[in-house]
């Protein structure tokens, strides 16, 4: 059985760790509130852009455009949004597994555009080619950052280096629910609208269909990337808040258990001392 000194030392160490986890939980809670508001504010633009492009695709039909068809022989570019720091439960590992375990994908055919050091390091260890590292934008992403990344992706797509573009991010549902999501950005695919939605408003273009796609698809891709960045930041802070709350609760249980063990050891020590005193007194008498 551990000595009272060892138990007391271990209890003090756990109490110090508990104070850290409590502080990290409070910080993550504040950041989550701000990130959640930003994600909700950007979602309206994201949904409007998605519906607009979807309706344009329904109108243009089988138009032969480079944004609507995969380039032959091109690799798959995957924008992976993770975090720069750990202590967020399975937030980073889940997004990495989403890509590495995707059915039908070979690492030789995948180019990683990493947003977040944890994801980048994981893919390097797995043997994937990291084409671009934008880990410095993951803490406080802005729309120009999404436009920069979109520009690099479209350049590679235009050269034929990339045939398909995907976005891997963690969708924010609520404080405790965060869903790793893989979204195809290019080629753009038309999704039939559900029955019961509002009737489609007729669209008129001053430019022809091809010129309209040339103008709106880059904005569409940038908006999806920006929306993914916003939701990923909210999901990261939600996951870290939850992880730190669990860690704090676990520390509390360990402290209670060690307190009980310390009291039992102290009681045993006192009992032994009393026994020795009584035995000594009886020996003298």
145-201 pLDDT tens trace? 999 999 999 999 888 889 899 999 999 888 888 899 999 888 887 665 544 455 455
231-276 pLDDT tens trace? 999 999 999 999 999 999 999 999 999 899 888 888 888 888 888 7
173-182 pLDDT tens trace? 888 888 999 9
Measured distance CA(207)–CA(191) in Å, rounded: 24
Per the prediction, the chain carries an average pLDDT of: 85
- What dotted CATH number matches 42-192+206-241? 3.40.1380.10
Domain residue limits, the chain: 42-192+206-241
Residue 122 reports pLDDT greater than 90: yes
Q: Is 196 left (phi over 0), alpha (psi -120 to 50) or beta?
A: left
Which position has the higher pLDDT, 54 or 6? 6
* Secondary structure, 3-state, 162-180: EEEEEEEEEEEEECCEEEE
Measured distance CA(285)–CA(281) in Å, rounded: 6
Q: What is the pTM of this model?
A: 0.82
- Work out the percent of the chain whose per-residue pLDDT is above 70: 88
Contact 119, 82 (CB under 8 A): yes
Residue 216 reports pLDDT greater than 50: yes
**Predicted local distance difference test score (pLDDT) of residue 23:** 92
**Predicted local distance difference test score (pLDDT) of residue 271:** 84
Average pLDDT over residues 64-86: 82
Biggest alpha carbon–alpha carbon distance for the chain? 115
Residue 33's pLDDT band, with cuts at 50, 70 and 90, is confident
């Amino acid at each position: 059985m551990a000595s009272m000194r060892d138990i007391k030392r271990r209890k003090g160490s756990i109490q110090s760790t508990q104070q850290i986890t409590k502080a990290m939980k409070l910080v993550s809670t504040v950041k989550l509130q701000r990130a959640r508001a930003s994600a909700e504010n950007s979602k309206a633009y994201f949904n409007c852009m998605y519906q607009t492009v979807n309706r344009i695709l329904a109108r243009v039909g089988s138009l032969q455009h480079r944004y609507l068809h995969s380039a032959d022989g091109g690799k798959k570019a995957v924008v992976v949004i993770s975090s720069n720091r750990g202590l967020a439960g399975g937030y980073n590992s889940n997004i990495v597994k989403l890509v590495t375990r995707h059915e039908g994908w070979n690492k030789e055919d995948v180019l990683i555009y990493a947003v977040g050091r944890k994801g980048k390091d994981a893919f390097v260890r797995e043997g994937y080619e990291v084409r671009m590292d934008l880990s410095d934008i993951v803490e406080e992403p802005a729309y120009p950052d999404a436009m920069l990344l979109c520009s690099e992706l479209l350049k590679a797509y235009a050269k034929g280096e990339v045939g398909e573009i995907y976005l891997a991010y963690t969708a924010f549902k609520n404080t405790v629910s965060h869903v790793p999501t893989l979204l195809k950005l290019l080629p753009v695919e038309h999704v039939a609208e559900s029955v019961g939605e509002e009737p489609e408003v007729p669209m008129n273009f001053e430019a022809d269909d091809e010129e309209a796609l040339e103008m709106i698809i880059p904005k569409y891709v940038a908006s999806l990337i920006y929306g993914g960045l916003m939701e990923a930041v909210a999901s990261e802070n939600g996951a870290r808040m939850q992880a730190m709350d669990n860690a704090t609760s676990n520390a509390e249980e360990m402290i209670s258990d060690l307190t009980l063990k310390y009291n039992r050891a102290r009681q045993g020590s006192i009992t032994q001392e009393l026994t020795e005193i009584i035995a000594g007194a009886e020996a003298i008498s």
